[in-house]
A = this chain, B = another copy of it.
Amino acid sequence: MKTEKLPSAQTISRTPFPGSRKIYVQGALHNVQVPMREISLSATTDRFRNITEENRPVTVYDTSGPYTDPNVAINVRQGLPKLRNPWIEERGDTVRLNDISSAYGKSRLSNPALDYLRFEHSTSPRRAKDGANVSQMHYAKKGMITPEMEFIAVRENMRLEELYEKDNSLWQQHKGQNFGAHIYQGFITPEFVRSEIARGRAVLPNNINHPETEPMIIGRNFLVKINANIGNSAVTSSIEEEVEKMVWAIRWGADTVMDLSTGKNIHETREWIIRNSPVPIGTVPIYQALEKVNGKAEELTWELFKDTLIEQAEQGVDYFTIHAGVRLPYVPLTAKRTTGIVSRGGSIMAKWCLAHHQENFLYTHFEEICEIMKAYDVCFSLGDGLRPGSIADANDAAQFAELETLGELTQIAWKHDVQTMIEGPGHVPMHMIKENMDKQLRECGEAPFYTLGPLTTDIAPGYDHITSGIGAAMIGWFGTSMLCYVTPKEHLGLPNKKDVKDGVITYKIAAHAADLAKGHPGAQYRDNAMSKARFEFRWEDQFNLALDPDTAREYHDETLPAEGAKTAHFCSMCGPNFCSMKITQDVRQFAAEQGINPEEALDKGLHEKAKEFRQNNFELYS
C-alpha cells in the first residue's frame, strides 16, 4: 500500500527557457502582475552596408507559471503562492468554511492510513455566502471588471501594445478569415474581456478554491487555447508522475490541464495537482463517482454524485465535464453505430439510463448542479458523451441530438450566470468539420466550443496527435475556443512524458495556425521574427523563438554540432553551395558590388526590363 511516490523538488522540471527571461507586466486598474516570457534576439548584421541593427525582444504567452522563474522558490509540498486570494477576499462575497462539506472528503481526511500521501498544507475551503453568486459571469453581467479580467486583457496582448510600431515590418500580417467571429481589432481591453464573459462567449475558469491560478480565458474572440489531459489509471502511474506531467504540460504550452485519474487515491492525487497548478484544472466527476460504487454504473445515484461535485469544488477544480446531454431517448440512436459510445462518461450514463430505464440524472438535476457551480465558480464543460468514435459515426443523429440538448442546457446555465463551454468530437473527416462547428455556434449561442481533435482518419494509431492536429487546426480556425490535445498513445495506452510533450507541441501548432488564419491581431509577429532570423542565419534566435527550442537545437546539432555552425550561412540540408537563402543574399551582394544597393539593383536595375516583358504580355513564344 505505502508504494505511492510523492512529488519533490527533484522530480519537477524547472529549467528556464534558453535566451528568455520571465517578465511581469503591471495592470492599470488593479494591482495585477502578469507573467510573460521575453525572448531576446541578437542583432542583424548587414554584410553589404556593414551596419548592425538591433532586433527587439519578442514577448510570448507563457503558461508555465512560476516554475520557469528562477527567482521564485518552489516547494511542491507547500503548493504555489495563492495569487488570487486578496482579490477573492476583497469581493467579500465568500465565507471560509470550518470544515469541508462532502462526506467522502471527510472520510478521506479522517483516514490515518492516507496520512503518508496526503497533501499537508491544504486550507479549509471557501464557499459563496448564502444566496451569493461568485461566478465571473455574474460579476461581468453586473458590469464589474474584476482583477481576473484585467489580468487576462494584459495577458492576451502579450505586451505587443508597448512594442507596437507602425513602421516595424514584423507587424505586417495577412488579413484573416474569421467566419463571423467578433475579434477585437487593436488591443484587448478589460472591458472587452468583461463583455465577452457577460455575453457567454468566453469563460474564465477559476474556482475560488484554486487561488493559485494565473487567470486565462477561453473564447472564440481570444487566442485559441489548448488543454492537456493527465491522470493515472487502474493500470499505471503515481502522484509524483502526475504532478510532474502537469508541470511538464504547462511548460510546453498547455493552457488548462484535465486530471482524468481513474485509479487509486484520486482525491489525494487531485489535491496535489491543484495546489501546484497555475492553470485551471478540469475533471470529469463521474469517473470518481464510479470508483465509489466499484465500477457499477447502475449503482450511481444523484446524492453520491452531488457529494462528489462538492468534494471536488471545495478542492478547487475549475471546470467539470458533465454529461447531462446523454439522454435516455438518444441511446437507441447509437445502436447501429460502428463504434457505439466512446466517451467514458457517456457510456457510464447510458448504462445507468438503461439499467433504470430513467432519464439521465445529470439532466433531471441540472439546475441543482448550477447551484453548486455558482457557489464556487466552477465552469461547466458540457460533455459530448455521444461524440463519434470513428469516421463512420461523424455528425450522426446521436451526436447532433445531444448537441441540441447541450444548447438547451447552456441557456439554463446562463440563466444562473454559470460559465459554460461545450465539448466536441471526436472523429470527423475534414469536409464535415465546418458543419459541426456551425451547428455548435447556432445551437449553443456561441458558448465556447472545446473539441478533442477532431481526428480526420481512423487508420493511424500511434500518430493520432497528427490525425487530430489536422482537424484541430481547422476547427480552431472555424471558431473553436479550446483544443483538447491528443497524444501519440491515443487508442493504445497511457501517455508518458514524451507523449505529453508531443501532444502539447502539436496542439500549440494547431492553435497558432488557427490564430493566423483568423487574422488574430499580432498573431503573425512571432512567425515574422522567426522568418527574419531564418533568412539572416541567426540560428540561436531561431532555436529560442521555436515552440520547442531544445528539439530545434538538437536536430540542427545532430549533423553540425560545431559551435561555428551556429553562425554558418547554411545548414546540413543543402550545404553551402545550395543554400537558397545564402544565394539570395549573394544575389543582393552581387548587385551591391556594382555600386548600387541591392534593392535598387533589383528594383531599378531590372525595372525597365521587367516593364518591357510585361508589355509583351510575357510572350516569348508568340
Binds B, one of A115-123, A219-227, A243-251, A507-515: A507-515
12 contacts between A and B (CB under 8 A): A235-B559, A328-B609, A328-B613, A332-B606, A340-B585, A344-B579, A350-B583, A363-B620, A389-B534, A458-B528, A458-B534, A463-B505
A346 interface contact, C-beta 8 A: yes
Asked whether A602 lies within 8 Å of B459 as measured between CB atoms, the reply is no
- Contacting B at CB under 8 A, from A572-587, are 572-581, 583-587
Q: Given A338-B535, A506-B466, A517-B431, do A328 and B606 touch, yes or no (CB 8 Å)?
A: yes
Q: Chain B: which residue is nearest A296 at the CB level?
A: B577
Asked whether A602 lies within 8 Å of B332 as measured between CB atoms, the reply is yes
Q: Chain B: which residue is nearest A499 at the CB level?
A: B555
Q: Given A341-B584, A613-B327, do A531 and B492 touch, yes or no (CB 8 Å)?
A: no
Binds B, one of A82-90, A170-178, A188-196: A170-178
Docked pose: A236 CA to B558 CA in angstroms: 11
Docked pose: A341 CA to B578 CA in angstroms: 12
Greatest chain B CB density within 10 A among A473, A548, A614 is at: A473
Q: Given A429-B516, A473-B430, do A509 and B583 touch, yes or no (CB 8 Å)?
A: no
Asked whether A488 lies within 8 Å of B405 as measured between CB atoms, the reply is no
Q: Chain B: which residue is nearest A471 at the CB level?
A: B513
A329 interface contact, C-beta 8 A: yes
Docked pose: A465 CA to B555 CA in angstroms: 13
Q: What class of interface size applies to chain A in its complex with B?
A: 35 or more
A95 interface contact, C-beta 8 A: no
Asked whether B389 lies within 8 Å of A509 as measured between CB atoms, the reply is no
**Nearest CB on B from A146, distance (A):** 30
A567 interface contact, C-beta 8 A: no
The binding surface of chain A is classed by DSSP as: helix
Asked whether B573 lies within 8 Å of A489 as measured between CB atoms, the reply is yes
**A-B complex: 8 closest residue pairs judged by Cβ atoms:** A234-B575, A390-B531, A329-B610, A295-B577, A340-B584, A347-B583, A335-B602, A462-B551
A74 interface contact, C-beta 8 A: no
A69 interface contact, C-beta 8 A: no
**Nearest CB on B from A285, distance (A):** 14
- Contacting B at CB under 8 A, from A267-323, are 287, 290-291, 295, 297
Chain B residues with Cβ below 8 Å from A240 are none
Q: Chain B: which residue is nearest A543 at the CB level?
A: B461
Asked whether B493 lies within 8 Å of A573 as measured between CB atoms, the reply is yes
Chain B residues with Cβ below 8 Å from A456 are 473, 509, 513, 516-517
From B351, B461, B601, give the contact of A587 (CB < 8 A): B351
Chain B residues with Cβ below 8 Å from A542 are 461, 491
A66 interface contact, C-beta 8 A: no
A263 interface contact, C-beta 8 A: yes
**Nearest CB on B from A607, distance (A):** 6
Chain B residues with Cβ below 8 Å from A11 are none
**Nearest CB on B from A565, distance (A):** 10
A206 interface contact, C-beta 8 A: no
Interface 0/1 of A168-211, CB less than 8 Å to B = 01001110110000000000000000000000000000000000
Chain B residues with Cβ below 8 Å from A429 are 174, 176, 513, 516-517
